[in-house]
Structure 1
Amino acid sequence: MRVIVVDDDGIVVRSLATILGAERDVDVVGTGTSGHEAVSLFTRVEPDVVLMDIQMTDGDGLTAAEEILGMEPSARIVFLTTFSDDEYIVRALRLGARGYLIKQDVSTIAPALRSVMNGQCVLEGEVLARAAELSIGTGSRGGTASPAARNESALKGLSAREVDVVRAIADGMTNAEVAATLFMSEGTVRNHISSILAKLGLRNRTQIAVFYLRKCM
C-alpha cells in the first residue's frame, strides 16, 4: 500500500516513515508536517492511505481531511493522534475517516492500515468506547439523540427488531446486555447480528457500531 505520513512533529514523521517502511507491503511515498502539505501530497502522489495527525500548527488534520474527501470521497484517511477529545471523534466519524488511532503502540499501526485497505473501519478501543458513549447527535457534544431524531435511512433494509439490535450495539452493549434490554435470548441476538452483517455487508460487531455512528447519528 502507498502511504503518506503527516504530523507536525518531524521526529514522529521520520519514526513512522522508518517503522512503516520496514513493512514488506507498505511504501511510504511522502511525508508532511501540516494539513496544507497533506492536501498537496494527496493530490500529487495519490496514496492509498493518508496517516495524519489532527492538531497541527499550520493547518489541522480535520480541515485537511475535509478538503481531501471533498476532492475524492473514497479517500482512506486514518488519524493517528494523542487526542481522544469528543469533538474530534465526532467530526472525524462524520467526515468519513476510515480510522482513528491513539499514539500508543506503534506496532498496531501497520495492521490497522491493512484492515483499512481491506475495507474495514478501525477505531482504537478507547475511541470506540467514547464514540458509543457519546450517542452522537446533531452537533451537540455529548448529547443523545432520540431514535426519532436520527437519520436511520441507511437501515431501511433491516427489520424493526434488527434496528433495535443495531442501536444497542452502537450504545456499546454486549450480546447479554442486548438480550436483557430487548427481552430476547442471546441466541436470538446472535441470529439478528448475523442477519444484520449480511444485509449491510459488514464483518463484525465493531463495524456495526461504526456504521451506525457514521451513517445514522
Structure 2
Amino acid sequence: MKVAIVDDDPIVCTSIGTILTATKTAEVIWSAHDGVAAVREYERHEPDVLLIDVQMPDMDGLQASELILNAHPQARILILTTFADPEYIRRAVELHTKGYLIKQDVASVIPAVQAVMAGQVVLGAEVLQQLPMLGTQGSAMTDAAAMDAGHSDERFEGLTERERDIAALVAEGLDNRQIAAQLYLSEGTVRNRISDILAKTNISNRTKLAVEWLSCHQ
C-alpha cells in the first residue's frame, strides 16, 4: 500500500510515516505541509490512501480534499486532525471522504488506513458522538452525505430488543469492551451480536450501522 501524509507539522508527518513503515503497513511515497502542495503532489504521484490534516496554511485540508476528489472521485482520503469540530465533520462527510480520525489516537491509524484501503468508511469515536448534532443541521444527513443512511426504522424491525440496545450503543461510539461492560455481556457475545445485526440489516460495517441508526432515531 502506498500512502501520502499532509500535515503542517513535519514532526507529525515523520511520526505517522515511521509507524506505517515500521509496521510494514504502508510505504510513504510523499508528504506535504499545506493544501496547495497536497493537490500538486497528488497529481504527480497518486497514493492509495491520502492522510490529510484540516487546519493548514494557504489551503486547508478540506479545500484540498475537494479539489482532489473533483479530479479523482475514487480517491481514498482520510482526514486526520486534532479537531472533532461538527462543521469540519459535516464538510468531510459531504465531500465523501473515506473517514475522519482524531490524530491523538495514534494506535487507530494503522487499522484505519487498512480499513480505508479495503473500501470502508472510518469514523473515530469522537466523530460518531457528533453525528446526532450533524443530523440537526440538515444537509449532512442526506442519503449521499450520510453514506446511504436509511430514512426509516424498517431495516431494524427484525432486530431483537438486545440487538437494538447494542446497535444504539455502537451509534454512541462505544467499542465492544464498553458495550460488554454496560450490558453485562462478554466481548465475544457483543462481537457475535454485532455480526448478526449487520447480517440482518444488510449493512456492511459498524460505522455505517452507527450512521444509519442515528439517522432513524433522532
CA contact (8 A) 1:162 1:193 kept: no
In the alignment, residue 39 of structure 1 is paired with which amino acid?
Answer: V
For structure 2, the residue ranges without an aligned partner over 5 or more in a row are: 180-193
**2:201 paired residue among 196, 202, 215:** 196
Give the direction of change, closer, same or farther, for the CA distance of 1:13–1:151 in structure 2 (3 Å limit).
closer
Rounded to whole Å, the distance in 1 between the matches of 2:153 and 2:14 is 50
Distance apart, 1:66 and its partner CA: 0.4
TM-score by length of 2: 0.72
Count of residue pairs brought into register by the alignment: 189
**1:162 paired residue among 155, 166, 179:** 155
Rounded to whole Å, the distance in 1 between the matches of 2:171 and 2:106 is 28
Give the direction of change, closer, same or farther, for the CA distance of 1:18–1:173 in structure 2 (3 Å limit).
closer
Rounded to whole Å, the distance in 1 between the matches of 2:39 and 2:77 is 11
In the alignment, residue 94 of structure 1 is paired with which amino acid?
Answer: E
In the alignment, residue 210 of structure 2 is paired with which amino acid?
Answer: A
Instruction: Summarize deviations over 1:106-147 as a string: whole Å, max 9, x none.
Output: 22211110011111111110111112343253359xxxx8xx
Give the direction of change, closer, same or farther, for the CA distance of 1:211–1:29 in structure 2 (3 Å limit).
farther
CA contact (8 A) 1:3 1:49 kept: yes
Rounded to whole Å, the distance in 2 between the matches of 1:211 and 1:3 is 29
Equivalent residues in 2 for 1:108-187, closer than 5 Å: 108-139=108-139, 151=143, 154=148, 161-162=154-155, 172=172
In the alignment, residue 29 of structure 1 is paired with which amino acid?
Answer: I
In the alignment, residue 53 of structure 2 is paired with which amino acid?
Answer: D
Which residue number corresponds to residue 74 of structure 2?
Answer: 74
For structure 1, the residue ranges without an aligned partner over 5 or more in a row are: 176-188
Identity %, equivalent residues: 41
TM-score by length of 1: 0.72
